[in-house]
Amino acid sequence: GAVVSQHPSWVICKSGTSVKIECRSLDFQATTMFWYRQFPKQSLMLMATSNEGSKATYEQGVEKDKFLINHASLTLSTLTVTSAHPEDSSFYICSARDPDGWEGYQETQYFGPGTRLLVL
Amino acid sequence: AQSVSQHNHHVILSEAASLELGCNYSYGGTVNLFWYVQYPGQHLQLLLKYFSGDPLVKGIKGFEAEFIKSKFSFNLRKPSVQWSDTAEYFCAVSFYNQGGKLIFGQGTELSVKP
């Protein structure tokens, strides 16, 4: 149980285009998902918290208009990188909160396999 | 600001050697503690976690970790590593009533020589 998938696994795009990444919880409902960014040989940096049916909460320094998050259903959150530029090239990882956890207190996150984005 | 630090950036061991990876966090309140592993080309997997109770927790693949509250530490241990343990290890902390957000340490790359 608690499997999270992401699509696509990798994408190459031209500078100025927009790219959408999907994050799905396959066998459970996730009211909250998280989006992270990981640079090579570095740790994960939380970008935003995605809440089903409401606006995402962005971390300080993350551009809301650049990274659009939509959590339209209990099993799907999407991250759209708008007008992508080479500096947006990175590994984007999503996670979903354990549905059996005690929200905000004792809970586990399960991670997707990540999406590697390369902007030319 | 809340932070998590891992002492070792890269650890190289021979098979059968014992492993201990350090992790410290900055916050003095109630925390949840995790160790995740990322094998080459794979996604993050949960090794073990601590919420409350016995400060010595056992995880998968023979790993264990000990929570020492007075030292704000949650070190990962394994008595005898295998070549297949070669991976990146991340310590992560979430803080009570913070919406479940995880703060990750910098990661430790473990290389096990056969």
DSSP B19-67: EEE-EEE---S-EEEEEEEE-TTS--EEEEEE-SS-SEEE-GGG-EEEE
- On the question of pLDDT at A102 being above 70, the answer is no
Q: Which residues pair with A109 in a beta bridge?
A: A97
Residue spans of chain B under pLDDT 50: none
Q: Which among B70, B107, B71, B77 is positioned nearest to B92, based on CA atoms?
A: B107
Q: Which residues pair with A79 in a beta bridge?
A: A21, A69
Q: Are B90 and A113 an interchain contact pair (Cβ–Cβ within 8 Å)?
A: no
**B102-114, pLDDT tens digit by residue?**
999 999 999 999 9
User: B57, B64 in Cβ contact below 8 A?
Assistant: yes
Which residue of B42, B96, B102 is in closest CB contact with A109? B102
Q: Which among B92, B98, B108 is positioned nearest to B25, based on CA atoms?
A: B92
CB atoms under 10 Å from CB of A115, counted, come to 23
Percent of chain B with pLDDT over 90: 75
Establish, for the pair of chains A and B, how many residue pairs have beta carbons separated by less than 8 Å: 60
**A40-85, pLDDT tens digit by residue?**
878 899 999 998 888 899 999 999 999 999 998 889 999 999 999 9
- What is the predicted pLDDT for the residue at A19? 97
Cα-based distances in Å from B47 to A96, B31, B77: 17, 17, 11
Q: Which of residues 43-72 of A touch B (CB under 8 A)?
A: 43-46, 49, 57
Contacting residues of A for B43, CB less than 8 Å apart: 93, 111-114
